[in-house]
Amino acid sequence: MSNILLEIADQFSKGAFNKVYPHFKDDIKWNLVGSPTISGRENVIAHCEKMIADMAGSIMNNTKHFIAGDAVIVQGFCTYTGADNSPGKVEYCDIYNFEKDKLSEITSYIIEIAQGL
């Protein structure tokens, strides 16, 4: 079971959202720390679809994975080119909670990294 949960979490953190939609619970919650929580399957999917467009050209790199029972943690970084053609980087940590192999809650911590660090 943990391999399935790990694969779901890994795909979501890589931005391959459409591969994960079938695994969402109807009452899924996505806590984007510092922003309002997104609640409900359709609202989370709508936000994912917007992010797909916003993330075009970004490169996601999942670097660490942790599994504890029905929870998976994925840490990584994303490199991108900003609107002004300057390079950018964010580091992220996504915490996934599952109920009966369905994704019930995601908490995402995203930190913009200053250039030169």
Q: Which whole-number Å values give the CA distances from 109 to 2, 52, 81, 86, 87, in the listed order? A: 22, 18, 20, 23, 20
Flag whether 105 is in a domain.
Answer: yes
Tell me how far apart the alpha carbons of residues 49 and 43 are, in angstroms, rounded to a whole number.
10
For the question of whether the overall pTM of this predicted structure is more than 0.95, the answer is no
Residue 91: per-residue pLDDT: 97
User: How many structural domains is the chain composed of?
Assistant: 1
- Per-residue pLDDT reduced to its tens digit, 27-37: 999 999 999 99
- Per-residue pLDDT reduced to its tens digit, 8-19: 999 999 999 999
Q: CB neighbours of 69 closer than 8 A, spacing ≥ 6? A: none
Structural domain of 55: 2-112
For residue 32, the domain's CATH number is 3.10.450.50
Flag whether 117 is in a domain.
Answer: no
- Per-residue pLDDT reduced to its tens digit, 49-86: 999 988 888 999 999 999 999 999 999 999 988 778 88
Q: 86 or 107: whose pLDDT is higher?
A: 107
Q: CB neighbours of 35 closer than 8 A, spacing ≥ 6? A: none
